[in-house]
Structure 1
Amino acid sequence: MSGPFESYPVSLVHRLIEPGPTLMITTAGGEWPTVMTNGFSMPVRHDGTLAVVIGPWDATYGALHRSRECVIAIPGLDLLETTVDVGNCSSADTDKWEQFGLTPLPASSVQAPLIAECTANIECAVVDDTLVESYDLWILRARAAWHLPETGAVEFHHRGNGTFSETGTVHDLRHRMTKWPHLT
């Protein structure tokens, strides 16, 4: 023990960092487009490069290998239970669109559909899959993005153990970003 801290399992450190909002990811192909829940994602660069972890345990994995493109959809808090339920079954044997009342919309640059009920959708292409075999990590580049402005939608984050937190209050400190004004 070090001071007031208690030991924490290294295998659970992802819960301390919490990678980002819980997502739904769609791909095209097969009997119906796949849709999965994803809690491991991150921005990589300011040019629209993103990364997601999708492994062979997900039907989306094979579809992403074949199509090389997907849509990252960001659900609002109103879809919390639906998002969890989507993650509890497989697109290999379930039409999740029908089962959960999700509405596919055509994308502008990829075959995978947008999810109408989500607050934002990002159309992506795979640009690097060299880390997939070792880490199930896909590097994607955004081709187009869509959002519902002025919705005040609240994102939610999976804490890694079946609990979720919601996005909190926004604090506008753009005026303090003196080293990085081009990012504001």
Structure 2
Amino acid sequence: SPPKKKPSPPPNLKISKLTHLTPLPRVVSLLEPGPILLVTTGSLPQNILTLGFHSMLQHSSPILITTVLGLWDASFNLLKQHKQFVLDIPDVSIAQTVVDIGNCSVNYGINQWEKFKNDVKAKKAEKVDVPLVGGKGIIGNVECKVENESMVEKYNLWALRVVNVWVGQDWEKKKMIHRRWDGKFSVDGEKILDLSERMVKWEGLLD
């Protein structure tokens, strides 16, 4: 039988001029929208963790956030034990400290609160028994409790319920940092694009 002809593309379909993003894990630099965080769990003088993998899961009743935290993190067993978590949001002024915190661990005998005391100060939380990270370079703190662990064993994915939120003075003027790739970070810009009047379908989320 004669060889089958390849199907012709639709007449208006143009060959893509896009380039493959490689290696594949770099997709996180496209889809990871949230800021880099500092995370506290356990009690003093236990660990502070630098974290980039997190996402909103549910808007309300209750508000849920997911994060990836695995056995490779010193905070994993602390979270397993205490079931409480604080997500601390740093601004760009302490970006180098945030990276340095991520390079060390209580597992190596390092007290991060003492080592980085110029930039991070332990403060008492209100609804969890976990210290908040305070200091001039902190935008805010989100107190959380573990809501669901069903995907931890397979995916290291935790569902956290938000129970309290703090923000510092002028928090809206501070700039968050976002991880991109190979050690690079983007910084929130000064210009805010306000399209709230166009978001007629999502008015309930504009508060």
Return the TM-score normalized by structure 2: 0.84
Q: Whole-Å Cα distance in 2 between the matches of residues 80 and 15 of structure 1?
A: 18
1:119 and 2:132 correspond: no
Q: After alignment, is 2-11 or 76-85 more displaced?
A: 2-11
Q: What are the Cα deviations for residues 96-130 of structure 1, in whole angstroms up to 9, with x where unaligned? A: 01101120000001111111121100000000111
1:166 and 2:180 correspond: no
1:99 and 2:99 correspond: no
Q: Quote how far apart the aligned CAs of 1:33 are.
A: 2.7
* Contact preservation (8 Å) 1:19, 1:39: no
1:126 corresponds to which letter in structure 2? Answer: V
Residues 149 and 181 of structure 1, relative CA distance in 2, 3 Å threshold:
farther
1:56 and 2:77 correspond: no
Q: Whole-Å Cα distance in 2 between the matches of residues 134 and 160 of structure 1?
A: 26
Q: Whole-Å Cα distance in 2 between the matches of residues 176 and 7 of structure 1?
A: 33
Q: Whole-Å Cα distance in 2 between the matches of residues 181 and 97 of structure 1?
A: 42
For the residue of structure 2 that corresponds to 1:58, the secondary structure is coil
User: Percentage identity across aligned positions?
Assistant: 34
* Contact preservation (8 Å) 1:76, 1:119: yes
Query: Aligned pair count?
Result: 182
The match for 1:6 among 7, 19, 24 is 19
Partner of 1:181: 203
Q: Whole-Å Cα distance in 2 between the matches of residues 90 and 104 of structure 1?
A: 17
- 5+ residue gaps, structure 2, are 1-14
Q: What are the Cα deviations for residues 29-87 of structure 1, in whole angstroms up to 9, with x where unaligned? A: 4x613110001111111122101111111111010000000100000111100000000
For the residue of structure 2 that corresponds to 1:182, the secondary structure is helix
- 5+ residue gaps, structure 1, are none
2:115 corresponds to which letter in structure 1? Answer: Q
1:157 corresponds to which letter in structure 2? Answer: H
Matches within 5 A, 1:4-83: 4-9=17-22, 10-29=24-43, 32-47=45-60, 48-83=63-98
Residues 65 and 36 of structure 1, relative CA distance in 2, 3 Å threshold:
same
Q: Quote how far apart the aligned CAs of 1:149 are.
A: 4.2
Partner of 1:142: 162
For the residue of structure 1 that corresponds to 2:200, the secondary structure is coil
* Contact preservation (8 Å) 1:33, 1:113: no
Q: After alignment, is 57-66 or 168-177 more displaced?
A: 168-177
For the residue of structure 2 that corresponds to 1:82, the secondary structure is helix
Q: Whole-Å Cα distance in 2 between the matches of residues 127 and 57 of structure 1?
A: 22
Query: Rg larger in 1 or in 2?
Result: 2
